[in-house]
Chains A and B, each alone.
Chain A
Amino acid sequence: MLVNSIFAGIERWPLSVWAREDDYAYFVALILHAWGMAFLVGAGIVISLRGMGVGSGAALSAFRGFLPVMWLGAALAIPSGCVLLVAYPAKALTNPVFAIKFACLIGAAMLMRRLMRHEVLPRNHRMLAALCLLLWLGGVAAGKLLLHTYHMLTVS
């Protein structure tokens, strides 16, 4: 099968072999991924809560100062996530929960951008912020479920 041969090809990449076989590589990537997700989703949750009206007394636009925290989170989570993905491509890419995680995180990031882009908030900003919060939480939950829902680890 073509897909399996692609997975097998990725599994032969030096980065993939190193991530699987080195004593620390996979493990360090997991720690960095957890840090990155905590920064990214943690800040996302706070900005969503503020968008929903919690913590009145500070304008939502002032929370733009925390966007570098989210960028830092993404800078940690994305490369480490790529290492985890390259190590076991079949494990992630044959699991629908992985697609759900991605859809939630991309949806949350797009809604966050919409909430933070303008000085004047969209009229339905509370609903958007609540949806954004749900998507951040959904992304986290799906990420944790990945470990328990995969069907195959490697093809080679």
Chain B
Amino acid sequence: MNVDPVINVTAVAQWGRDSGIYGLMTTRWGWPIAESFHFIGLCLMFGTVGLFDLRMLGMARGVQLRALHRLVPYGLGGFAISITTGLLFVMTAPEQYLHNPAFLIKLSLMLLAVLNMMLFYAIAARTVWLTGADDLPPLRARFFGALSLLCWLGVMTCGRVITAYRPPAYFWCPWC
């Protein structure tokens, strides 16, 4: 089996044990409670950001985009919950995640969604705030909305795939 020169799975596992996270997560309710919070965070994020994206795509005319955007910080709170609980999973069982293509694709899609969001604020947000409650935002804003929605659906799909598809490291490690 090839050795991974980039990701030291053993070191991450050791870090999880030394920090006490492994012990906490392997109690009767540690992992289940973290999983519940992981999906609650995702629902908060997907609800607020996803509905904002859908409004940009023309759904629910009559809802002012600026007003809807006031809910987005709750989504970011949900995202923080999901990231925190996700880190707990990885530190508890790094061998199930760090060489799993579904996990790597999930991280890539999250990165793409964050980049898309930053570009949205840099390029299109100003015109979106001026959009009337019954109007459709400009085409480029709709593009950001559609891409964001697709990214988060992909993130969710990969999250489910991770639980079922766990190839060994030598099977999927392009840099090994």
Contacts and interface: CB of A to CB of B under 8 A. Distances in A.
A57 B66 contact: yes
Contact of B43 (A30, A38, A62): A38
User: By DSSP majority rule, is chain A's interface helix, strand, loop, or mixed?
Assistant: helix
Nearest to A67: B60
A105 to B, nearest CB: 12
B63 A65 contact: yes
Contacts of B74: 49, 54
Interface in B28-82: 31-32, 35-40, 42-44, 46-48, 50-51, 54, 59-64, 66-68, 70-71, 74
Interface in A12-66: 27, 30-31, 34-35, 37-39, 41-46, 49-50, 54-59, 62-66
Interface string A126-153: 0000000000110011011101110000
B160 interface: yes
A122 interface: no
Contacts of A46: 47-48, 51, 71
Contacts of B37: 141
Interface of A: 27, 30-31, 34-35, 37-39, 41-46, 49-50, 54-59, 62-66, 68-69, 136-137, 140-141, 143-145, 147-149
7 contacts: A34-B159, A43-B47, A49-B48, A65-B59, A66-B59, A140-B43, A141-B37
Contacts of B32: 144-145, 147-149
B153 interface: yes
A145 B36 contact: yes
Nearest to B34: A144
Contacts of B40: 137, 140-141
B164 interface: yes
A65 B62 contact: yes
A145 B28 CA distance: 12
Given A42-B47, A46-B48, A58 B63 contact: yes
B36 A55 contact: no
B100 to A, nearest CB: 15
A69 B48 contact: no
B84 interface: no
Contacts of B68: 55, 58
Contacts of B161: 31
Given A35-B153, A45-B44, A140-B43, A62 B70 contact: no
A34 B155 CA distance: 11
Given A55-B70, A55-B71, A66-B51, A45 B61 contact: no
A57 B60 contact: no
Contacts of A137: 40, 43
